[in-house]
Amino acid sequence: MNEELSAFFDVPVGTMMLAIAFPAILLPTPNRLITNRWITIQQWLIQLIMKQLLSIHNTKGLSWSLMLITLTLFIGLTNLLGLLPYSFAPTTQLTVNLSMAIPLWTGTVVLGFRYKTKMSLAHLLPQGTPTFLIPMIIIIETISLLIRPVTLAVRLTANITAGHLLIHLTGVATLTLPTIHSMTITVTFVTVILLTILELAVALIQAYVFALLISLYLHESA
């Protein structure tokens, strides 16, 4: 059991690169005037996600639509990839999530100080703060700003890893418990099915939450 759990986190670099590149195969570029059902569903889904992510932005903020929709689809598909048998989800690795969160967060901070310098600095000191609390509030707000990429990455990693581990442990129990009592196989099998459905929802929701938070940071900055 311990060896199986350690192998869950020990993934070769080549396998990780293949897993990261895999979502691009699932999103073919339409090159026909009359598209098939898969392309139609794909376009409808993209339009729905864009409408939700860009509802808070003005005309200038629409320029981020391509980046946000690409980010959402990439994270969502890589999350779902981990639910396939003998596969691996890159988003279970903190380093992969940090490599997405840190550049995106850095971009929002740079844009904020470039285009909204006064407003960006004002976020560090809320209006009406008592004078004797100003140094402490500035330190707290600065720390909260600096840990944003860490919270983005840790939230995604923890939610995806916890779900996959829970399914893995329940699946092992499904194979082990019937040797103890035959009635337990029905309970554990139904539990695995319900956990898989739950993890499907979590995989899509976490992709949307990640992109939505980046969209909110951009809205504050640009």
Residue at 27: amino acid letter: L
For residue 204, count other CB atoms closer than 10 A to its CB: 16
Confidence label for 31 from pLDDT (cuts 50, 70 and 90)? low
Q: What's the full length of the chain, in residues? A: 222
Task: Give the residue among 49, 80, 90 at the shortest CA–CA distance from 214.
Answer: 49
pLDDT at 28 over 70: no
For residue 23, count other CB atoms closer than 10 A to its CB: 19
Q: Specify the higher pLDDT residue, 180 or 135.
A: 135
Residue at 74: amino acid letter: F
pLDDT value, residue 120: 79
pLDDT value, residue 18: 59
pLDDT value, residue 154: 93
